[in-house]
Amino acid sequence: MSDRDAPFEVTPVRPAPGAPAESTVAERKWLGSWARSFTVSERNVFLLLAVVIGLFSGMAVVCFRILIEWVRLALLGSALAPAPLRVLLVPTAGGLVVAFLVQKYFRAARGSGVNQTKGAVYVFDGYVPFRTVIGKFVTCSIAIGSGHSLGPEDPSLQMGAGIASAFGRRFNLSRDKLRLLAPVGAAAGLAAAFNAPISAVLFVIEEVIGTWSASALGAIVLAAVSSSVVLRSFLGSEPMFRVPAYVLGHPAELLAYAVLGVVGGMVSLVFTRIISYFRPKLRDLPDWTRYFQPGIAGFLIGLIGLKMPQTFGTGYPYIDQALHNQYAWGMLAVLGFAKILTTSLSFVTGTPGGMFAPTLFIGAMIGGAIGGLEHQFFPQVGASVAPFALVGMGTFFAGFLRVPITSVFMVVETTGSYSIVLPVMIANTIAYVISRKYQEVALFDLLAKQDNLELPSMEEQREQIVLRVEDAMRKLKSQPLQASDTLGHALGVAENSGEEVLLVRFPTGRWAGLTKADFTDLSARYPRELLLREVLPTARLPVLHPDQRLDDALRFIPGHTLLPVVSRAGSRKLEGVLSLPDILAAYQKAT
């Protein structure tokens, strides 16, 4: 057998005395890398937490909704139209109990929960006391279950934020991550409450955090999806409302929906004004009156409920009825305005509960009324009441809560009907524009101001004029130098130039900036015949583009007197230059 044919053998090497065996070293290295691969960074913990928060929030919302139903069944009975005595007594008693609990134990449970969540993000470093979650859970269940005209969605949002906040504190997350965690929980809570994850994500972005932050978006989506999955597995995956199929018969129908947009915008203005006028008035009353305000509101709601039990609670079964043409247009209009009254009563007296459900109810009724009216006088408008009620929900949502994008997806997701999207977009936009024009401050911002909270207005942020580099840049007084120019030539140009800094362009698109003093210094160290690219081998300036935000440019300016603004089509093409005084001048001009 030749050496070639001999079997391959590995001769073990004996380790030096005292040194670890080679296999042990290898094992340790491998274990080290394995362990490193399992090292959980805060970012990964954050994403994992988002899923866990979604699961918890989803289950909390399931329990919340079940509790509301049980309270309603126990107090008002199983019929949609309860007995008259219950109609009068239950909301009154419910209001009194809720007021007592809020005043004594859960003061932070007042209101809808949206601004409280924003407050947690912007004022309290993402901190939502868990006591508030419990308070919201208990008080809202009693309030909504006893017939107060409020909904479970906004409280679910706050409960989600509270659960997220508790987890964040438990895992000692940084303050920055804690702030981000509250919106994550809010999205989870809202997604489960509406069974609408897309709308929940959009709402949190539109109303709570205001920007499409990449760091938060992934976690928000994960939380919303996981909470929706939980809700669907426990309470079913059907959309909230079942609607007949809609087909746009004729493009002229869109005009009818435009009219709905106008009316929806105006009615939402009325609703906003009522709440913004009466809420501070009642808050200014002596503290002891707060023990009775929800009870009195409950009694008045009961009086209205004697004739219109539809205005009780969330009103979802009645939205379903409106969507199935079960009311004449006159009745729809009356129900819409009655709901404005009952919801205002509940909300301005500080009864805990949300505004989303009543908003959808009012929108559906007003929309249905407009549809019925148009159908009566213009029968050629093909659509029946149902699509108008459907579009009305989104319209009022857009006009009242001022979340135009969310409102469109909300309708699509809660009904599972995509075909309605065109009329919804038209009507929502009109309602939003009208509301924006005649009510400068959005409802949530108004409520925050009444609560002495200076929360950032997402609407204002969205509509703020964005200054860009092109608004501040100026032309260079002299032509930029080329990398192929000699140092002597550059020195001559520098002496005659009006610019403090001269830019040098390299063939690769790289830019360098030198002051006159720099050139004098270089000419003292190198022969004047040398080319600039030989004396400036590594010099490099950051470059800007004309469409970049001026705020972003500020991050590059420190340490540089002047920065080149180049074309996106090629960084060799100079569009202008930008200096710190230019930026400041632009900001000054804008204000």
Partner 1 sequence: MLLSFILLALFFVITAALARAYHMREEGLVEEWSEKGKSDLATGEPAKAFEDFRNALSYGPENRFVELRLAEALLADGRYAEARSYLLALWESAPGSGEVSLDLAHDSLRLGNVNEAIHYLGDAILGSWEREPALNRRNVRVELCELLLSHGRTADAQAEIAGLAADTPPGNAPQREETGRFFLRAGEPDRALVEFEAALHVDPRESKWLAEAGQAAFQAGDYSRAETYLSRAVREDPSLGAQQSLELVRDVLANDPFYLGLSEEEVARRIARDLDQGLARLRACQASGTPSSLSLPALQGLAKDAQDFQKRVSRRALERSPQEQNDAIQLTFKIVDATSKGCGPGTGLDQALELIEKQSQGRAP
Q: Which is nearer to partner 1, 65 or 148 (CB)?
A: 65
471 contributes a contact to partner 1 by CB under 8 A: no
Among 47, 69, 451, 500, binds partner 1 (CB under 8 A): 69
What's the half-sphere exposure (Cβ side, CA atoms, 13 Å) at 220? 27
- Name the helix (H) or strand (E) containing 537: none
How many whole angstroms separate alpha carbon 20 and alpha carbon 15?
A: 7
Among 317, 416, 509, 527, binds partner 1 (CB under 8 A): 317
244 contributes a contact to partner 1 by CB under 8 A: yes
Query: Candidates 61-69, 193-201, 407-415, 463-471 — which segment interacts with partner 1 by CB under 8 A?
Result: 61-69
Q: Nearest distance from residue 167's CB to partner 1, in Å?
A: 7
Longest CA span, the chain = 108
Q: Which is nearer to partner 1, 20 or 317 (CB)?
A: 317
Query: Candidates 255-263, 315-323, 405-413, 445-453 — which segment interacts with partner 1 by CB under 8 A?
Result: 315-323
Among 80, 306, 517, 590, binds partner 1 (CB under 8 A): 80
Among 19, 25, 26, 73, binds partner 1 (CB under 8 A): 73
66 contributes a contact to partner 1 by CB under 8 A: yes
Q: According to the 3-state scheme, what is the secondary structure of 2-59?
A: CCCCCCCCCCCCCCCCCCCCHHHHHHHHHHHHHHHHCCCCHHHHHHHHHHHHHHHHHH
Q: Nearest distance from residue 452's CB to partner 1, in Å?
A: 36
234 contributes a contact to partner 1 by CB under 8 A: yes
Among 47, 81, 467, 557, binds partner 1 (CB under 8 A): 81
Q: CB under 8 Å, gap of 24 or more: what pairs does 437-445 form?
A: 438/269, 439/269, 439/272, 439/273, 442/401, 442/402, 443/272, 443/275, 443/276, 443/355, 443/400, 443/401, 443/402, 444/114, 444/115, 444/118, 444/207, 444/401, 444/402
Task: Please state whether beta strands 501-505 and 511-515 pair in parallel, antiparallel, or not at all (unpaired).
Answer: antiparallel
125 contributes a contact to partner 1 by CB under 8 A: no
229 contributes a contact to partner 1 by CB under 8 A: no
Query: Candidates 60-68, 116-124, 143-151, 276-284 — which segment interacts with partner 1 by CB under 8 A?
Result: 60-68
Tokens of 187: 């999205």
Among 47, 59, 229, 491, binds partner 1 (CB under 8 A): 59
Give the bridge partners for 577, in sequence order.
474, 564
Among 1, 6, 13, 79, binds partner 1 (CB under 8 A): 79
Query: Candidates 165-173, 199-207, 523-531, 575-583 — which segment interacts with partner 1 by CB under 8 A?
Result: 165-173
Tokens of 144: 């909504």
Among 88, 173, 386, 487, binds partner 1 (CB under 8 A): 386
Please list the alpha-helical segments (H only) found in 349-451: 356-377, 385-401, 404-415, 421-438, 443-450
Tokens of 576: 């202008």
Query: Candidates 15-23, 143-151, 298-306, 320-328 — which segment interacts with partner 1 by CB under 8 A?
Result: 320-328
Give residues with Cβ within 8 angstroms of 285, minimum separation 6: 293
Tokens of 16: 């030096």
Q: Nearest distance from residue 121's CB to partner 1, in Å?
A: 23
55 contributes a contact to partner 1 by CB under 8 A: yes
Centre a 10 Å sphere on the Cβ of residue 86 and count the other Cβ atoms it contains: 19
Residues engaged in binding partner 1 (CB under 8 A): 52, 55-56, 59, 62-63, 66, 69-70, 73, 78-81, 167, 170-171, 234-236, 238, 242-245, 317, 320-321, 324-326, 384, 386
